[in-house]
Structure 1
């Protein structure tokens, strides 16, 4: 027995534990009769979780029969062999699959729920095996060759039960976040078109504006007229460093109205001074993603020194006219996103130019009302942050349990 295999476990390759691995296909898009509401049809786009209940599209029985798609029984592990390499899911119903997915049918000595947890624990390894310059894919031979140490079936089932219970808490926590985000979206639609009123009295008179119906007392002006300056990040060739201490932000660092510092790289003092020349944001300034994943805004809070790439726009609001948190809420709202979509240009990477960003029409209540509206949004954001922190902690707990239980480092008691 190999020293790396826990006592009572069996060293094997994943392919030896499969009765079959089956791929799918796509019915012809030119035949309307192949598409409908009869049979759920899964693609990589549907893999947004671990245990799924629905798909974006469906096909008919004749569509299934006239294509390479396969009907996979409920509670079968389905993996991505292209694009989302490393992902695995289980559907709670029979589902057909396309050519980028594979259904894994285990032999009797391998529990499907345990297999799912084991496969997810190897996501980074599996992803690293993917090949392809634009879209990565993984060969079935590489999947079959994956080494796996297999506990007895009863131990597999106990391990799977423990990890699945954590997944259930994670799913409920994510549902809380989604609910809060939906609440915020709904309130944005209401508060940014009706306001909260003045002196406790709601607005009763409204008018048309470039962004829709708004209270009569409000104005609607361009972002340029509300800003002291609109520019972008450094155009210097920036070299990040493991020895650096000053954050350097990318477009991916600006999400959900805040800055994700954990995704930043770092610059040395010398590189920071070069990159930040003329671009040193201060408390209350705004960052806005303008290239690629455009349309995300965040307020700079505090006086942390940092630099940022040129794909991020840098807005210095005129604080006498507009409250920063209110402006960010507007830019992140459906009203702001609609304007971003209107101005975005380009093929490979859509871009909102600085000139067009300055043309954005911004609703303008009195400062006092702006602050009240922003306070309501900030209250929801704070709740989201608390639940998001809980979700992160649960993810760390899950990773630790996977490392302990799926390697045999910690053994479970079998009743």
Structure 2
């Protein structure tokens, strides 16, 4: 029978606080920011070059350390460093205590939803909630002896091969979804014959497509109130920036308000089925549709677009808002930062490109199929995560 004892996270892990004043002179070439960490993946696939970007980071990490994103922990960003470098101050550098837990078993903690739930619970701040190591160190977990850990590590290594394969497929799937509309337009122009395209000040577009300002394709554009309604254990859902991810509503950690505040917060208009909701700050550009038979109240830093049904369908307006063409405009308006602020007046002037209704519906249906296939991959990944949790 496997012996287990309950320990705290701080008993098996330490926070690394190495710094450098001159990273290049100290031999470091690469840096990691939060934008380089992928949600749910322990593998680092991107990084920046210190000599090219001259980041202000001073925190040092070494190969084998865990880089944990402490800002907005609900994004579940943590990764294993495969090289030495420097990182953002919004990343906690961690190292397992070797005589207590094998590194490969320690890594399983970052696949445990209970750990992430604890990180979210211990975070503070409304705009960009952050947790800290002094809070995380109190998380309790079972610890088996080193001999049993070796068996767990062997099983984990085999499961990780499958997990890495799924992660690569999810990454490719997400990229294809995000660039679907853009790639379609580019392919149409690339293969177009004379008369099948038209020139605009934004470049060539397919014949039959038109470029509008956002305000001209919406019946209504509503900015949220600049404060938060009162929260209660139940009532009317308050959709916040943390409740929209990858084109859909995330119901986890949803807050609720009462009928009184709802009426105040929806004086400019009540969200209706088919309205597009978009985050305009921290982070910018997360998009979803208001579901059918669902009463919602918008929290801070949100905007609502009600499509003009004579020009655009709800589904295609969501697709356009998720496109790289539209998202690049948002980043420009926010001075290149996903945590920046977009002014409502400027956003109304953002450009959208629309085909006729028949093609809108066809492209929206294809987009939906891509999302459904992505959901299947996500479910497989979640099922594998449950297996990781069982062996941890």
Please indicate, yes or no, whether the TM-score normalized by the shorter chain is above 0.5. yes
The residue aligned with 1:370 is 360
Tell me which of 147, 152, 155 is aligned to 2:145. 152
Cα distance in 1 for partners of 2:50, 2:303 equals 44
The residue aligned with 1:101 is 93
Give 1:205 shift: 2.9
The residue aligned with 1:224 is 215
DSSP-derived class of the 1:355 partner = helix
Cα distance in 2 for partners of 1:21, 1:253 equals 30
Give 1:249 shift: 0.4
Q: Structure 1 residues 117 and 382, CA, compared in 2 at 3 Å: closer, same or farther?
A: closer
DSSP-derived class of the 1:179 partner = helix
- C-alpha distance after superposition, 1:349-377 (max 9, x if no partner): 63323322221222122221222222222
Range with greater deviation from structure 2 (329-338 or 253-262): 253-262
The residue aligned with 1:412 is none
The residue aligned with 2:133 is 138
Q: Structure 1 residues 114 and 315, CA, compared in 2 at 3 Å: closer, same or farther?
A: closer
TM-score by length of 2: 0.75
TM-score by length of 1: 0.71
Question: Mind listing any 5+ residue stretches in structure 2 that lack a counterpart?
Answer: 52-57
Contact 1:227 1:318 in 2 (8 A): yes
- 1:314 correspondence with 2:304: yes
Q: Structure 1 residues 231 and 7, CA, compared in 2 at 3 Å: closer, same or farther?
A: closer
The residue aligned with 1:26 is 20
The residue aligned with 1:207 is 198
Cα distance in 2 for partners of 1:28, 1:113 equals 32
Cα distance in 2 for partners of 1:179, 1:125 equals 30
The residue aligned with 1:413 is none
Contact 2:197 2:205 in 1 (8 A): yes
The residue aligned with 2:250 is 260
Give 1:51 shift: 4.6
Give 1:272 shift: 2.9
The residue aligned with 1:182 is 175
Range with greater deviation from structure 2 (227-236 or 327-336): 227-236
DSSP-derived class of the 2:285 partner = coil
Range with greater deviation from structure 2 (112-121 or 260-269): 112-121
Cα distance in 2 for partners of 1:13, 1:296 equals 36
DSSP-derived class of the 2:284 partner = coil
| Aligned residue pairs, count | 375
Give 1:313 shift: 1.1
- C-alpha distance after superposition, 1:21-71 (max 9, x if no partner): 865333615xx665676xx666776654665366625689xxxxxx99575
DSSP-derived class of the 1:213 partner = strand
Larger Rg: 1
Cα distance in 1 for partners of 2:242, 2:140 equals 34
Q: Structure 1 residues 370 and 309, CA, compared in 2 at 3 Å: closer, same or farther?
A: same
The residue aligned with 1:115 is 106
Q: Structure 1 residues 390 and 77, CA, compared in 2 at 3 Å: closer, same or farther?
A: same
Give 1:265 shift: 1.3
Cα distance in 1 for partners of 2:148, 2:242 equals 41
Contact 1:284 1:324 in 2 (8 A): yes
Q: Structure 1 residues 196 and 36, CA, compared in 2 at 3 Å: closer, same or farther?
A: same
Which structure 2 residues correspond to residues 32-51 of structure 1 after superposition, within 5 A? Answer: 48=38, 51=42
Cα distance in 2 for partners of 1:205, 1:240 equals 54
Range with greater deviation from structure 2 (248-257 or 186-195): 186-195
Range with greater deviation from structure 2 (286-295 or 117-126): 117-126
Give 1:289 shift: 1.5
Cα distance in 1 for partners of 2:336, 2:11 equals 49
Contact 1:114 1:156 in 2 (8 A): yes
Q: Structure 1 residues 130 and 138, CA, compared in 2 at 3 Å: closer, same or farther?
A: farther
